[in-house]
Structures are given as structure tokens and as C-alpha cells.
Structure 1
Amino acid sequence: MTTTQVEYRQLGKTGLRVSVPVIGAMSFGSTDWSSWVIEEEKALEVLKAAWDKGINTIDTSNNYSNGVSERIIGNFIQKYQIPRNEIIIATKCFGLVGKTPGTLAHARSNLRFERDYVNQHGLSRAAIFNAVEASLERLQTNYIDLLQILRFDADTDPEETMKALHDLVQSGKVRYIGACSMRAWQFAMLNEIAAKRGWTKFVSMQHEYSLLYREDEREMLAYCKYNGIGVIPWSPLAGGPLARPLGAETPRTKFMKGSPFEPKLSEGDITIINRVKELAEKHGKTMSQVALSWISTKITSPIVGVSSVARLEESLTKGFDLTAEEIKYLEEPYVPRAVRSC
């Protein structure tokens, strides 16, 4: 029997238990899509190490490396004969999936209006059903544990979206539904529509949250807590700055340098990063473990992107808890900032 190095928490009010952490699969795919991702051979090594340590939950999206990420996960399950009922696969729909790994669909706003891509984007009934069928094929499975809508779709009637998601749950192709990165009022409205019609409601929210970005504490986290909705945030290490000392570079930070995605650090951010480093040295832990220990006191489970077994090890926090004073020490320098665009 395997001795796990992680804990399992219920996802909101559901009986579904997810691992802490959740493995984020955006870093698994094709270098044709992005130079910082790792390809299948190395990704399988990381996934197997995560599985052996007890991590049972993987979060991906249909548009990560234009479907290659999902294919790698499907191949992982098949190669190592992972019992399907023991692993939790979370994926997403909304984004456009390019026909080749190197097609940068997210950078070509008009692509969705071309013949080969019409009805393959957004949250219409057609787009959602098309996305799910394609994901099931790539993942080599007959159901998705958690299907998440990647954004709010202002171009589709919310009732159409929620009825389509409900029908997929009723069909057995999807077991739970969740949402990502939207305003709290949008998330609440969608759930209210489902509640009034007797349709399936969202059980989880995946949004940006870290020691360096806490704006959703005002509305979204409060809404989720009140309604018993699980929270599985992305970027719990703020894209890397909370994982290493100031000035350190990685393939991803080099890739983002000079781009709109490059982290811009304020004085408060720098103070927080230095305090994370200070506590890591005090406890003999990595900076990642300190930042993830903090966030684990606020949410269900963080989604961590890992590109090596060593990085995976740095993300395990079972048995490591910060004191109330240390939590306050990390939070004190935070200064509210502009809400990110969804």
C-alpha cells in the first residue's frame, strides 16, 4: 500500500476529494506552442512521480498546447494502467483549440470566425458539446470528473450555457462542473440560473490567487465560502516570484520577459517575497512550500505547475503549517491593486 505524501480535501460541499496540491498540466505539451512547456517523455516522468506521491488530481484545458496536454494525460493513464476511478481529471472549455500544436489561437482573435473554427469557441451548446467530445477522445476516457468553463461568455445566453452543462452531467460524460476567472456577479448569476431551473450548479471556482494577488478576497472567496463552493486557484506562486529569490531566472521568466505577462513587482510584493524567503530559511523549507502552506489555509487546493520532479518535491506541504503570527507577517505588506482583466 502506498504511503501518500499529500492530503485529500473535499471539493466544496461535494463528496469528491482532491489532492493537495492539484497538478497543473499547462506546462505539459508541445514546445511549438510555448518554449517553456515540457514534452511528453519528461511530462510522463513528472506525472508518474506525482502519482507515486499520492497526487490524484490533474487540471488541464482543451487549449493547452492545442490539445497536446490532454493527450499526454490520456497516454499517462494508459501507459501506467492507472485505474480510472482512482484519478481525477479536470479540464476546461471555452478557448479555441488550434489545428496544430504551434497554432497560437489565443493570439488570433479573428480565427474563431473562420470556417474550420466556427462553433469551436465560447460557451454555446454547440461549442461545449464539441469541446467535450474532443476532450474525451484526447484523454481516452468516457467521462470528465470536473468540467470547467474557462471564462464568462458574454455572447451566449447564460441559460443556454447552464442547460448544456447540466445535460452533459445527466448524460454521464461529465460528473461535476466548475468555473474559472470571472467576476463574482457573473459566477453568482450563472449558479442562480441553474438553481432556479433545477439544473446542475458549479461546485468549484478556479481563479488567480496568491500572496501577491488577493483581490478576490473581497467578493469571490466570500461568495464561495458562504455557498460551500470549492476553490482551486491557479498561479498560487504568482507565476514564479514566490518560488525563488528575487532576480532568479527560469525558462518561463525568460519567456515572459518584456511581454504583457511579465510580473511587475511593487515594493509591497518585494517585501512579501523576502518574507517568504525568510520563513523558508527559518523552517528549512522551500519558498514554494511557504507560499503554498499559506494559501492552503484559505482555499481547497492550489493548482501547481511543475516541470520537473524536483519542482514537484518543492510543492509538497503535508505536515507543514504556518503559525497565525507567520500568516499575518506574510499578509501585512500587501497593498490592494487593480483587478486583473478576465
Structure 2
Amino acid sequence: MPDTDMEYTTLGDTGLEVSRFCLGCMNFGSDREWMISDEEKSHEIIDRAIDLGINFLDTANVYSRGESEDIVGDAIAEYDREELVIATKVYGPMGEGPNKQGLSRKHILDQVEGSLDRLDTDYIDLYQIHRWDDSTPIEETLHALDHLVETGKVRYIGASTMAAWQFTKALYESDLNDYARFSCMQPQYNLVDRQEEENVLPVCAEEGVGVIPWSPLGGGFLTGKYDRDGDPDEGRAATDEHTHERFTDENWQVLDAVREVADEKDATPAQVSLAWLLHKDVVDAPIIGPRSIDHLEENVGALDVSLDDAEMDRLEAPLEPAWSRVIADL
């Protein structure tokens, strides 16, 4: 049991207080073989996360086609709702036929009702667009989201995984039309996926937008459980092409540096990798997705890992960030 005291911060320039780690709930469900299909085990992880001081949980309607939201809703029923910050997302397909995906006004208003029902709550703290929708004018999407804020079904709105010009356009349209503004961005960001340093992160820093990175451990790569000469045949890497794509010489050099710093600090590679994110001023709360209580406690222990400027430079030196659009199937 870690002795770490949870730390808290405000989400971007809002007054919403969130824990420095957000519990990612994509693992809770049965859509893919590496997920946690045992609902009781999922509840145990959620309970332990809350016990450790994590008040911020992130899910999405598409995670196991609503199953994750159901699990989260059941798990949080016994807690004080006002103490929790519940985030979910909309965009992906939720059935066959027209109007079952995207960011049209119809789909958003339909899907928020489904998410509220599955989460068994009267409101969603942070409602995020999961991806950019090229087929729907952003003004229509923002108008629908603004309506949800005005009616109290949603407290704050956020976005995930898009080009900086798209995000900037959305912020501009919100300001122009006096719509609720995106308070949060959820990008893929970690020591081996640093493309967002050349994309949305400067926008977030300038506009006071909170940042909650997904895949903070690079699909497990930064935990150090894989080796250059190994052939992963279990866990996420066995079936996830995005994890395999990280097996590059540059990334192995990053992992070498992570392991060296971890050894020096009597920490684990995962803790050093998460600590690096926590030391980034633009980052509010990395989204961790532990599949066991041991992993959860290890991740939270990253709060105790301090990195100086020289160590931050060592970790970053092997890789030069460059923007490339990442659209993962999440």
C-alpha cells in the first residue's frame, strides 16, 4: 500500500479540482481480449482508486459499446457524487444505420441520454468529443454541446485527438458565438509519443485549456515489460498494432534512459515515465489505465518521483518530436 498522498489541481483555467491522475476506464469491459471482463475486479480497481484519492474517472460511450459506462455507474453509486468528476465521450459508432455516430446535434443529444442512463447520474462533469467530425460543421456540434451545458446535463466540455487548426477553429467559434468553450484536451502524449508538443499543446498552454493525456505509458511500452529482442505474445502488444509501432530504435533509446533513471531513483520505469508527464506544466492529469490494483498503486507512486531539469533532458534527448496525425481506434 503506497504512502503517497494524492495531489490535486484545477482543470485548465477552470475552478474544477481534479486529482493529478485520472482513472481511465476503457479496460473495463469485454470488447477486446486484454480487457477486464470481470465486473467485480473492475469495481475493486475503481474502489481502490477512489480510496487513493483519485476523484477523476474517464470513460466513453463506445468502450465495449456502453459496458464501461455501466460498470462505472454501478461502481460509483455508493459514493458522494459531488466529490467525483466523471468524464465520458461521444463520436464513435453506437449501432448500425444512419445517425448512430458522429457529432451531429441529433447524435450528441441522443447519446448524452444513453450515457446519463448507463452512468446512473443526472449530469456529466466533462463531456468530450472523441474525435473531430469532418462531416458535421463544428458550429452545429458546439451549439449542441452548449445546449447541454445550459440545461445542466453537462458541466464542462472537452475534446480529444485532433489537429491544432481544428481545435483553434473550435475555440474561435465558441468565442464568436458565445458558446461554452472546450475546457480540456485529451491528446495522446508520453515520452515516445511527443508529436503533440508540435500540435495542440502550445494551443492549450496559451488558451488555458486543461490537458489529460491518454496512453501515458505508450500502450505499456514505457513500463519496460518489453525487450528489443523479445516477441510479445500476450497482453495488449499481442493484438494492438499501435503498441508494435512503438518498437523503433529511437523509442528503445528512450526506454533505455527511462530504465537508467528508474534504477538511480529506486523507482520503476512506469513511475519515471508518469513523473515526466507530471513535471510538464501543461499537463493536469495523465489518464492511467491499470489492469490490477498493483499496477494502480505503482502508478500513483509516481507522485513521489522528483525529476530535475538534467534528468528531464536525459529522458527527452533520444527523440525529436514532430507532428504527425494520430487517429487510434479508441
TM-score above 0.5: yes
1:283 shift after superposition: 0.9
Other structure's SS at 2:181 match? coil
Task: Tell me the distance in 2 between the aligned counterparts of 1:310 and 1:290.
Answer: 16
Of 178, 193, 201, 1:198 maps to 178
> Is the CA contact (8 Å cut-off) linking 1:268 and 1:335 kept in structure 2?
no
Matched, 1:34 2:69: no
Q: Is the counterpart of residue 207 in structure 1 residue 187 in structure 2?
A: yes
Q: Which residue of 2 aligns with 1:286?
A: 268
Aligned residue number for residue 43 of structure 2: 44
1:261-280 to structure 2, matched below 5 A, reads 262-280=244-262
Instruction: Give, in whole Å, the separation in 1 of the partners of 2:8 and 2:246.
Output: 34
Residues 20-56 of structure 1 deviation map (CA, whole Å, 9 limit, x = unaligned): 21111011112xx100110211101111111111011
**Corresponding position of 2:215:** 235
Please identify, of 203-212 and 330-339, the stretch whose mean Cα deviation from structure 2 is larger: 330-339
User: 1: CA distance between counterparts of 2:27 and 2:64?
Assistant: 9
Displacement of 1:338 in angstroms is 6.0
Would you say how many aligned residue pairs link Structure 1 and Structure 2?
317
Contact map agreement 2:27 2:291 (CA 8 A) in 1: yes
Letter paired with 1:85: E
Contact preservation (8 Å) 1:12, 1:228: yes
1:13-28 equivalences in 2 (<5 Å): 13-28=13-28
1:71 pairs with 2:70: yes
Alignment pair present for 1:95 and 2:92: yes
1:68-121 superposed Cα distances (whole Å, 9 cap, x missing partner):
00000000012xx100000110000001124xxxxxxxxxxxx4xx2xxx2121
Contact 1:245 1:274 in 2 (8 A): no
Q: Percent identity among equivalent residues?
A: 42
C-alpha distance in 2 between matches for 1:145 and 1:325: 38
CA distance in 2 between partners of 1:61 and 1:268 (Å): 32
Distance 2:325 2:179 in 1: 30
In the alignment, the residues of structure 2 paired with residue 82 and residue 122 of structure 1 have an alpha-carbon distance, to the nearest angstrom, of 32
Q: Is the 8 A contact 1:246 1:273 kept in 2?
A: no
How many angstroms apart in 2 are the aligned matches of 1:95 and 1:6? 33
| 1:142 aligns with one of 112, 117, 122 | 122
**1:238-249 paired onto structure 2 within 5 Å:** 238-247=218-227, 249=232
Shift in Å at residue 199 of structure 1?
0.9
Distance 1:320 1:336, change over 3 A: closer
User: 2:35 corresponds to which letter in structure 1?
Assistant: V
Distance in 1 (alpha carbons) for counterparts of 2:215 and 2:246: 15
Equivalent position SS for 1:97: coil
Q: TM-score, normalised by structure 2?
A: 0.92
Q: Which ranges of 4 or more aligned residues in structure 1 deviate by more than 6 Å?
A: none
Contact 2:26–2:60, Cα closer than 8 Å, also in 1: yes
The answer for the alignment partner of 1:255 in structure 2 is: 239
Query: C-alpha distance in 2, partners of 1:130/1:200?
Result: 19
The equivalent of 2:106 in structure 1 is: 126
Contact 2:261 2:272 in 1 (8 A): yes
Residue pair 2:183, 2:210 contacting (<8 A) in 1 also = yes
- Structure 2: how far apart are the matches of 1:141 and 1:91? 12
Amino acid at match of 1:268: E
Take 1:137 and 1:61, find their aligned partners in 2: how far apart are those partners? Answer: 13
Q: CA deviation at 1:261?
A: 5.3
Instruction: Find the aligned partners of 1:179 and 1:313 in 2 and give their Cα distance.
Output: 28
Structure 2: state its 5+ residue gaps. none
Relative to the length of structure 1, the TM-score reads 0.89
- The answer to whether the 8 A contact 2:66-2:118 is kept is yes
Q: Distance in 1 between matches of 2:317 and 2:4?
A: 34
User: Structure 2: which amino acid aligns with 1:26?
Assistant: M
**Structure 1 residues 132, 303: closer, same or farther in 2, change over 3 A?**
same
Which residue matches 1:56?
55
Letter in 2 for 1:174: V
Instruction: Select 2:135's aligned residue among 142, 149, 155.
Output: 155
Q: CA deviation at 1:245?
A: 4.0
SS, match of residue 240 in structure 1: helix
Q: Structure 1 stretches of 5 or more lacking a match?
A: 99-110
